Amino acid sequence: MTVGAPTEIADRYLQVRAGGDIAALTGIAKHVLALERSRGGVLDHDFLNRHAHGLQDWMDWVDSTDWTELEQ
C-alpha cells in the first residue's frame, strides 16, 4: 500500500536458512496462537470459521511442534 511517505514495517530482518521456511512459519504460527490465547483479538474468528477447513487439526499440529526442533 502506498502512503506517500516511508513507513517502518519491521524492526528485524530474519534470514531463513534454505529448507528452514516451514520451521520459521511454524514458529510464527506458534507465537500468533499463543498471543491469541493470552490476550485475544489477534485472529479473525468469523473469517476463519467461514473459510478455514481443518483449522483445529492444523492448530493441534502447530501446538505439538517443539520449539527446540524449530530453532535448529
Segments making up each domain of the chain, as ranges:
21-70
Cell of 59: 492448530
- Per-residue pLDDT of 36-50, as tens digits, reads 999 999 999 999 999
Cell of 54: 481443518
Computed on alpha carbons and rounded to an integer, the radius of gyration of the chain in Å comes to: 15
What is the three-class DSSP state of 14? coil
This prediction has a pTM of: 0.76
Summary mean pLDDT of the chain: 89
Distance CA 40, CA 42 (A): 6
